[in-house]
């Protein structure tokens, strides 16, 4: 059981402690709990979104993010616990997992509905919410460096926030993700991820949802597209990396990236909040195993984006949705990265420099580093 303790920072942003036991949670409650003593100024207005009539997409304009913190030393890290002489974003002197509203959000804090019929020149408020998930009080690391117990608490936090954010007015998609490595653009070394609650269906999510809905309808509502892909990969076995009772990990048949793995629950479930306790337990084990294998491929840590593809909030699209993790890395060799150049960046036509079968074999053969040790 995970204990949830909400509070507020001095500028009104919500902060939530997630603890694995009652004793730990008690530290963050009542008059003795640490409060944010920074006296931050009131939050500024939300940014804006502009409608791109050529693509039908919304583009966020968030110039205020130019001033966000960039690779600070440990004694100035905003995600480390507060200490004498250093008042961070997290007031407590210690914590397990913390989620708080981003001080430099791309979306929010205002909530509302975007125009239903935008056209060229349409500008609107960037409604939504952006949250930071601090995985651990240690200054350096990533999800893969967590102990199994701490990783399990993070999964519970993802699930709780997915459910809460999905219920907020105007939210169309909830996206939990972790960026790892300077090559990906990480600006904080502290082990953390983020959650975006969008006021629209992002392009990638919209494509996946449309394909999923068409397949689900064609099957008479009996099968999901992701479930079909999973069954096909398990039947083949050629690209399977890990197979458990509730989850399987595989390199997809048409992988776009040099290193790409999908981690999929065997049972159709729309999002993380729908996973049972037993499924979350196995997810913890298999996810840490997978990250260990990825880090065992090369002598140095591999940069990646771990993206949880969840069903859209729209009730009409959820029956076809099938939760899965898409973990991708631009690393194509120990000393080489794939850059998105002409074909990929301009036309969206990916050209992979590796074969999915060879990558899967390498991951199967990899001996993952033990969970709980710093892999960053």
Q: 305 forms bridges with which residues in the sheet?
A: 179, 328
- Asked if 350 and 343 count as a contact pair (C-beta separation under 8 A), the reply is yes
The CB-side HSE value for 166 (13 A sphere, CA atoms) comes to 22
DSSP, res 274: G
β-pair type (97-101, 240-243): unpaired
Give the 3-state secondary structure of 192-230.
EEEEEEECCCCHHHHHHHHHHHHHHHHCCCCCCHHHHHH
Helix (H) or strand (E) segment spanning residue 296: helix 277-296
- Asked if 132 and 100 count as a contact pair (C-beta separation under 8 A), the reply is yes
Q: How many CB atoms lie within 10 A of CB 211?
A: 13
- Asked if 141 and 191 count as a contact pair (C-beta separation under 8 A), the reply is yes
80 is in an annotated binding site: yes
262 is in an annotated binding site: no
| Furthest CA-CA distance within the chain | 62
CA distance 110 to 125: 8
Active-site residue, 192 included: yes
For tokens 């210690």, the residue is 94
176 is in an annotated binding site: no
134: left (phi over 0), alpha (psi -120 to 50) or beta: beta
Distances (CA, A) of 346 to 68, 98, 256: 28, 38, 15
Residues 6+ apart with CB under 8 A from 110: 45, 46, 125, 126, 127
DSSP count for the chain of H helices, then E strands: 7, 16
Task: Considering the candidates 64, 70, 192, 216, report the single residue annotated as catalytic.
Answer: 192
Which segments are annotated as binding site for Zn(2+)?
A: 77, 80, 139, 190
Annotated catalytic residues are 192
* Binding-site annotation, residues: 77, 80, 139, 190
């Amino acid at each position: 059981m995970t204990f949830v303790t909400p509070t507020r920072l001095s500028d009104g942003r919500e902060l939530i402690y997630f603890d694995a036991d009652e004793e730990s949670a008690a530290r963050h409650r009542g008059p003795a709990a640490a409060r944010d003593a920074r006296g931050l100024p009131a939050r500024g207005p939300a940014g804006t979104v502009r409608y791109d009539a050529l693509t039908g997409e919304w583009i966020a304009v968030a110039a205020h993010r130019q001033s966000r913190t960039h690779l600070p030393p440990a004694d100035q890290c905003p995600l480390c616990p507060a200490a004498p002489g250093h008042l961070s974003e997290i007031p407590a002197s210690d914590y397990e997992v913390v989620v708080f509203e981003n001080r430099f959000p791309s979306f929010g804090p205002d909530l509302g509905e975007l125009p239903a019929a935008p056209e060229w020149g349409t500008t609107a408020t960037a409604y939504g919410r952006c949250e930071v998930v601090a995985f651990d009080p240690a200054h350096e690391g990533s999800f893969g460096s967590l102990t199994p117990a701490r990783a399990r608490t993070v999964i519970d936090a993802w699930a709780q926030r997915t459910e809460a954010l999905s219920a907020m007015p105007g939210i169309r998609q909830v996206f939990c993700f972790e960026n790892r490595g300077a090559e990906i653009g990480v600006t904080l070394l502290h082990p953390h991820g983020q959650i975006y609650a969008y006021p629209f269906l992002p392009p990638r999510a919209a494509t996946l949802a449309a394909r999923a809905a068409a397949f689900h309808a064609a099957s008479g509502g009996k099968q999901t597209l992701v479930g079909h892909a999973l069954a096909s990969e398990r039947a083949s076995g050629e690209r399977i990396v890990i197979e458990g009772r509730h989850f399987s990990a595989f390199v997809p048949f048409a992988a776009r990236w040099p290193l790409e793995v999908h981690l999929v629950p065997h049972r159709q479930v729309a999002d993380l909040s729908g996973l049972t306790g037993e499924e979350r337990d196995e997810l913890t084990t298999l996810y840490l195993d997978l990250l260990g294998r990825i880090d065992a491929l090369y002598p140095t840590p591999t940069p990646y984006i771990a993206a949880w593809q969840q069903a859209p909030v729209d009730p009409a699209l959820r029956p076809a949705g099938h939760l899965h993790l898409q973990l991708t890395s631009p690393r194509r060799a120990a000393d080489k990265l794939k850059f998105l150049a002409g074909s990929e960046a301009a036309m969206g036509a990916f050209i992979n420099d590796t074969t999915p079968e060879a990558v899967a074999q390498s991951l199967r053969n990899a001996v993952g580093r033990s969970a709980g040790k710093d892999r960053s």
